[in-house]
Amino acid sequence: MNAAPGIVAIVLVTVATLAIGTWGLRFSRTTSDFFVASRTVRPGLNASAIGGEYLSAASFLGVAGLLLTFGADMLWYPVGWTAGYLVLLVLVAAPLRRSGAYTLPDFAEARLGSRRVRSTCSLLVVVIGWLYLLPQFQGAGLTLTSAVGAPGWVGPVIVGAVVLVNVSSGGMRSITFVQAFQYWLKLTALLVPAAVLVVVWLGDGRPTGGSSGGAAGADAGAGPAFPDLVSWSQPLAEGGGQGLYVTYSLIVATFLGTMGLPHVVVRFYTNPDGRAARRTTLVVLVLLSAFYLVPPVYGALGRAYAPALAAAGRSDALVLELPRIVLPGLGGDVLTGLVVAGAFAAFLSTSSGLSIAVAGVLSQDVTGRAWGRRRLDGVTAFRVAAVVAVTVPCAVALLGPEVGVASTVGLAFAVAASTFCPLLVLGIWWPGLTAAGAVAGLVVGGLGSGTAALVTLLVDVDPGWRAVLLEQPAAWSVPLAVGVMVGTSLLTRASRPAHAGAFLVRLHTPEESAYPRG
C-alpha cells in the first residue's frame, strides 16, 4: 500500500481547516458569535455550511457501502436525508428562526415556559449529538486504517483534536467558513474520482451486478454474489411484511428526523430572518441533491469490481479502496488521496457542527450555571463545554465496539424523529401543547427509540420481527410519541401557557409585517 497520497491529503485538509478556522476567529468576539454567528450568515454561505456539516461519514462512505451490500433498496437513505429538508422548509425553518432562540432547549422553554421541558430537551440534544458523533470518530479511524495503514485510534484522536481547536477557538462564526469550504471539497473529492472510474469501467466493458441479498448471497452453492443489475433494483418490500415495515420506518426516520437533529436546527438560528431561513433551505436542497447523485455510482461499480468487500463486512471502505482496485498504479493513488481528503473533511465538518450544538446546550445548562462557586462568562463556559462535547464520544469511539457508520446515523435520525420532531411541529403549529404533554412525549419517544438504538448497537438480536422493530424503531416510536404528547396535553389543557397564542403569532408573522419599513 502506498500511504503517501492519503497522508498528504489528511495533512492538507487539516492545515486548510485550521487556517480557515483561524481566519474566522478574527470575527468571533461575543457570546452570540460563538452560538449563532450573531445571526448574520447569508443564505448562500449558510447553505454551503449546512451541506458541509450534514454530509457526514454516513453520506460519504456509508451510502455507497449500503448500496454495495444491500442494493438499490438503500437509496431510501439519501432520498430521505434530502427530502427531510423539504419537510423542514415547509413546517419549521422560518418560524424557528423567528423564535429568537439560540438552541432547541431555548425554543422549548420560550414556547412552554418550563424549566423541566428545557432540561429534558438538553439531555436529548446531548444524547442525539453523541450518538451521531460516535460514527464520525470511528469512521475517521476506518479511513486512516484503510488509506494509510494507521492504527484505528489515530483517526478519532486527530479529528477530535482539530475539531476541538476550531470549535473552542471561534465557535459558530469560525466553523461556518470551515464547513462551507468542506462541502465543496467533499463534492469534488467524490465527483472527480467517480467520473474517472466510470470512464475506466466503460473501457473495461465489465457488467455491474447486484442483488438485494447482499453479502449473504456469497454462501457456497448460492451462485454469484451479485448476479445482475435487474435483481439489484428489486424493491425491499419483496422481503415480505418485514421488508415493507423497514421501508416505511426508514422513510419516517429520514423524512422527520432531519428537523430534530441539533446541528441542523441550530444553523437556522444563524440566518438574519425567517425569509433568509427559507432561502437557505431551498439552496440546501439543491446542494444535497447534487451530492447524492454520486454515491450510487460507487455502489454500482463496487458490485462489478469489489464484491468481496461486502462479503468480508468491509463495505464502508468501498469509496476509499475502489480507486486502487479499478485503477492500479499512480492514477489510483492520486484518486485515493482525493477521496481520503473528502472523507476526512466529512468527519471534521459534521463533528464540528455536532460539537457546537452539544457545547451550546452544555454551556447554557451545565458549565455556564455552576463552576465551583462562580459563574463562568459565556465564551469561557462554551469552551469548557466544547471539551466535554468532543472528548466523551471520542473516548467511546476508542474504547467501544465498532459500529456501522450509516446504520448508527440512521438510529440517531430515529431518535430525533421520535422526540424533537413532534415537539417542534406541535410547538409551532398547535397552541394546545402543554409542558406536561411535551415532557411525556419526549420521554416516551426518547426512551423507546433510544433503548432500541442501544440494544441494536450492543446486543446481537436473533433475526425476526423483534430485530426489525429494534433496528428501525421510527415507524412505532414516532406515532407513539405524538400520541402521548397530544393526549397528555389534552388531559392537562388547564396548564396551557398563557403566552402561547402571542408566541405563535410571533412565529408565523413575517418580519416585514411585524416591523414595516418607514
CB neighbours (10 Å) of residue 204? 11
Q: What is the mean pLDDT of residues 41-49?
A: 86
Check pLDDT > 90 for residue 504. yes
C-alpha cell at 328: 492500479
Position with higher pLDDT, 67 vs 365: 67
pLDDT at 29: 60
pLDDT at position 74 is 80
Q: Which amino acid is at 279?
A: R
Residue 32 binned pLDDT confidence (cut-offs 50, 70, 90) = low
What per-residue confidence (pLDDT) applies to 513?
Answer: 53
Q: In Å, how far from its chain's centre is CA 225?
A: 31
CB 457 within 8 A of CB 411: yes
With 50 as the cut, is the pLDDT of residue 222 above it?
no
Q: Tell whether the torsion through CA atoms of 131, 132, 133 and 136 is positive or negative.
A: positive
Q: Is residue 238's pLDDT more than 80? A: no
Q: How far is CA 80 from CA 39, 74, 87, 177, 256, in A?
A: 28, 10, 10, 27, 9
- Residue 60 reports pLDDT greater than 90: no
Q: What is the 3-state secondary structure (H, E, C) of 88-148?
A: HHHHCHHHHHHCCCCCHHHHHHHHHCCHHHHHHHHHHHHHHHHHHHHHHHHHHHHHHHHHH
Which range (23-27, 43-47, 76-80, 114-118) has the least confidence?
23-27
Residue 439's nearest CA partner among 131, 122, 129 is 122
Q: Which three cell numbers stand for residue 29?
A: 468576539
Question: What is the model's pLDDT at position 89?
Answer: 80
Lowest-pLDDT choice from 61-65, 87-91, 372-376? 372-376
pLDDT tens digits for 449-499? 999 988 887 787 788 888 889 888 999 999 999 999 999 999 999 999 999
Residue 361: the pLDDT is: 85
Q: How confident is the model at residue 377 (pLDDT cuts 50, 70, 90)?
A: low
Q: What is the pLDDT of residue 424?
A: 94
User: Residues of 312-333 as b/e, b for ≥16 C-beta within 10 angstroms?
Assistant: eebbbbbbbbbbbbbbeeeebb
| Amino acid 278: pLDDT | 81
Q: Per-residue pLDDT for 227 more than 50? A: no
Q: pLDDT tens, 103-117?
A: 788 899 999 999 999
DSSP 8-state class, residue 292: H
Contact status, residue 34 vs residue 172, Cβ threshold 8 Å: yes
- Write the pLDDT tens digit of every residue in 312-370: 878 878 998 999 999 988 889 999 999 999 988 888 888 888 888 888 888 877 754 55
* pLDDT at residue 19 in the model: 84
282 within 8 A of 82, measured Cβ to Cβ: no
pLDDT over 70, % of the chain: 85
What is the share, in percent, of the chain residues with pLDDT greater than 90?
28
Stronger pLDDT, 111 or 163, i.e. the higher one: 111
Compute φ and ψ for 374, nearest 5 degrees. -130, 150
Q: How far apart are CA 209 and CA 79, in angstroms?
A: 22
Quick check: 252 and 475 in contact, CB under 8 A? Answer: yes
Provide the pLDDT confidence category of residue 375 given band limits of 50, 70 and 90. Answer: low
Whether residue 68 contacts residue 295, with contact meaning beta carbons closer than 8 Å, is answered with no
The identity of residue 212, as a single letter, is S
Find out whether 347 and 394 touch, Cβ atoms under 8 Å: no
Q: What is the mean pLDDT of residues 177-205?
A: 90
Mean pLDDT calculated for residue range 146-175? 82
- Alpha-carbon distance of 88 to 256, in angstroms, equals 8
- The answer, as to whether pTM is greater than 0.85, is no
User: Does the structure show a pLDDT above 50 at 226?
Assistant: no
pLDDT at 399 over 80: yes
Ordered structural domains, the chain, with CATH: 4-399 (1.20.1730.10)
Q: Which residues pair with 374 in a beta bridge?
A: 371
Query: What would the pLDDT profile of 417-444 be if each residue is shown by its tens digit?
Result: 999 999 999 999 999 999 999 999 999 9
Predicted pLDDT at 22 = 74
List phi, psi (to 5°) of 338.
Answer: -70, -45
Q: DSSP secondary-structure letter at 368?
A: T
pLDDT of amino acid 404:
62
Query: What confidence tier does 186 reach under pLDDT thresholds 50, 70, 90?
Result: very high
Cβ-contact 28, 174 below 8 angstroms: yes
Residue 447 has pLDDT above 90, yes or no: yes
> Highest mean pLDDT range out of 14-23, 154-163, 271-280, 374-383?
154-163
Which are the contacts of 312, defined by CB distance < 8 A and separation ≥ 6? none
Say what the pLDDT of residue 234 is.
35
